[in-house]
Amino acid sequence: MSDKPFRWRTIVEVAAISIVIYIVLGAPGLKTPSHIESTSEQDVPIARARAESLVYPDWKDLKCSKHGVDMHIFSTQPLVIYIDGFLSGDEVEHLVDISEGKWQKSTVFNAGVETEDEAVRKSEKALIPRDDVVQCIEQRALSIQGWPKDTFIERLWTQRYNVSGHYSFHYDWSTATKEAMRVSTFMVYLKADCEGGGTNFPRLRMPDDPKWCRYIQCGKDAGGEGVTFKAKEGNAIFWMNFDSERRGYKEVIHAGMPVTKGTKIGLNIWSWYQKGHMAEL
Ligand SMILES: *[C@@H]1O[C@H](CO)[C@@H](O)[C@H](O)[C@H]1NC(C)=O
């Protein structure tokens, strides 16, 4: 009996020391497995390549036409918004045109190393020049989010998926610190002359209202777990990657389903928080 309190203390001390060792070791097991790492993972604080890729649109002289969109909140926790008509038909054509001649194989980052891995991701990507149309789209993405502080747009790439093109389950957030993180994603469909190619979120729940079926696969087409958004030209899905404690939302894991016929072209718009960074216009 007499040594009981002592034993308790030992257990508590051992537990505390174990936790410290675990943290010092970098919390093994809590890391995102390499196969679902972001495609553009960089070490934080800001890597040079990242700094060069962060842009901020010109707000003073750029004239953007008024743009009407039809937004639907899909979920508030995490915030997921469906945006019908995010891009006009002309903008879509333009983005496809300026991608021409720039297509290159998409890559993935595996333990920080850039590789081609068609089992994970099979598509082509094109870095598009920042002309006025593109900057107006950058502006729109920031406006919708309410111009968050120290938040920039990562240079835009279009993505082309031919038959069997796909992107397996992943998060867009990877490493994040207090100073740097990929806060949000707009997944935009440019061209959807295809079958398949929807975007599946296995951890989101099917909404009750069948009005959603114009945007998501329903009934016997529902396919797979969770929710699959159909590829629809000009439309976008927006979501936040982190909660207020800067923890990545597990619910936003997603995959680009294989294209079974035709071609899909997509556009990712990622907003990156970089404390104190000054981007060139
Ligand atoms: C994908 O399809 C386009 C035509 O739609 C073609 O020009 C391109 O070469 C194809 N890419 C690959 C990797 O097969």
CATH number at residue 215: 2.60.120.620
Residue 3 included in any domain: no
Q: How far is the CA of 162 from the centre of ligand 1 (A)?
A: 6
Q: Whose CA is nearest to atom 11 of ligand 1?
A: 162
Overall average pLDDT of the 25-46 stretch = 49
pLDDT at residue 25 in the model: 52
Residue 5 included in any domain: no
Residue 280 included in any domain: no
Residue 259 included in any domain: yes
Q: How far is the CA of 255 from the centre of ligand 1 (A)?
A: 21
Residue 2 included in any domain: no
Helices marked H in the chain? 4-24, 48-53, 89-99, 132-144
Residue appearing with tokens 């976008």: 236
Helix, strand, coil share of the chain (percent; to 5): 25, 35, 45
Q: Ligand 1: which of 100, 103, 122, 166 to mutate, most ligand atoms within 8 Å of CB?
A: 103
* Contact yes or no for 204/138 (Cβ under 8 A): no
| Terminal Cα distance for the chain, rounded | 72
Q: Cα(218)–Cα(206) distance, rounded to whole angstroms?
A: 9
Q: Ligand 1: which of 107, 160, 264 to mutate, most ligand atoms within 8 Å of CB?
A: 160
| Percentage of the chain modeled with pLDDT above 70 | 83
Q: How far is the CA of 166 from the centre of ligand 1 (A)?
A: 14
- Residue numbers of the domain that contains 75: 11-274
Q: Ligand 1: which of 103, 162, 194, 264 to mutate, most ligand atoms within 8 Å of CB?
A: 162
Residue 6 included in any domain: no
Overall average pLDDT of the 206-224 stretch = 91
- Mean of pLDDT over the chain: 86
pLDDT at residue 1 in the model: 44
Hey, what amino acid is at 229?
Answer: F
pLDDT at residue 32 in the model: 44
Is this prediction's pTM over 0.85? no
Domain total in the chain: 1
Own/partner contacts of 88-97, CB < 8 Å, gap of 24 or more, are 88/234, 89/233, 89/234, 91/133, 91/137, 91/234, 92/190, 92/191, 92/233, 92/234, 94/133, 95/128, 95/133, 95/134, 95/158, 95/190, 95/267, 96/158, 96/190, 96/191, 96/265
Residues 6+ apart with CB under 8 A from 22: 28
| Percentage of the chain modeled with pLDDT above 90 | 64
pLDDT at residue 188 in the model: 98
Structure tokens at 250: 């597990």
Taking CB atoms and a 6 Å cutoff, what residues make up the pocket around ligand 1? 124, 162, 263
**For residue 183, pLDDT beyond 90:** yes
Atom of ligand 1 nearest to the CA of 160: 1
Q: How far is the CA of 89 from the centre of ligand 1 (A)?
A: 22
The CA R_g of the chain, rounded to the nearest whole Å, is: 21
Q: Whose CA is nearest to atom 1 of ligand 1?
A: 162
